[in-house]
Amino acid sequence: MAFHFERPAGFRHESGQNALFTLAGESRTFSIASAPYEAHLTVATRMRDSVFKRTLKTAQPGLKIEIDGPDGIMTLHEDAARPAVFLAGGIGITPFLAMARDAAHRKLAHRIVLVYANRRPQDAAFLDELRGLRARNPNYRLVDLFSEPPAGWKGETGFIRRDLLERHLPDLRTPVYYFAGPPAMATAMQSMLGEMGIADADMRSEEFYGY
C-alpha cells in the first residue's frame, strides 16, 4: 500500500532519501517514494500485522504523524558522465521511483538503468509507472525480471546476477551502483559488486528491515 502525507512546512528532501515516521508510539524508517517537486510525501510498504501498519491501513484523512528527516545518502551522484545503475528488490523500489521521477522531471543527462527483481509481475509495485517513464526520459532503461515469470514472458528471469548486468551494461566499471531491498538481497548485491571489482565508494545502498 502507498500512503500520501501533506508535506510539512519547510520540509525539503533529495530524491532517494528517507525519513523516520512515528505513529501510535512506534517508529519506522521509510524511503520517500515521491520526488522533491511533488506537493506531498509518499511512502509505500508491504503490509504486515503490526500496530503501526494496522493504524496506517485504517487511517482517515486528518491523521497526524510525526516525521523526522530527511536522512540517507541514496541520492543521485553529480557527475552525469557516469551512468547510474539501480538494483531493486521488491519494495526496495521506493527510493529509485523517486529518483527516476525526478530525473525525468528535471531532464537530467544521467544515463539510468533500473534493474527491478520480483517474484511475479503482480508483486512489482509501481511497475506500470516505471515502464511508462521510458517515454518521458530517453536516458532511462528498465530491466524487469521475475523469478516466477508469467506464461509467455520473453524478458529476464531469475535474480539479479553478474551475467545479467553484463548483457545490459556496456561497461561494468563506469557506473555508480545503487541497491535497496531486504538485508539478504543487499548483502548479496554488495558481494556481487565487490567480486566485479566495483569500489565501495561507487556503491550506495539501503536495507529494508521487516518492511
> What is the tally of structural domains in the chain?
2
| 45 domain residue, yes or no | yes
Domain-terminating residue out of 71, 100, 127: 71
CATH number at residue 34: 2.40.30.10
CATH number at residue 98: 3.40.50.80
CA distances from 103 to 14, 108, 109, 138, 185 (A): 11, 5, 8, 11, 25
Max Cα separation, the chain?
A: 50
pLDDT tens track for 87-136? 998 888 999 999 999 999 999 999 999 999 999 999 999 999 999 999 99
pTM of the full structure: 0.92
Half-sphere exposure of 197 (CA within 13 A, CB side): 4
Asked whether residue 132 falls in the same domain as residue 47, the answer is no
Q: How far, in Å, CA of 179 to CA of 197, rounded?
A: 16
pLDDT tens track for 158-204? 999 999 999 999 999 999 999 988 888 889 999 999 999 999 999 99
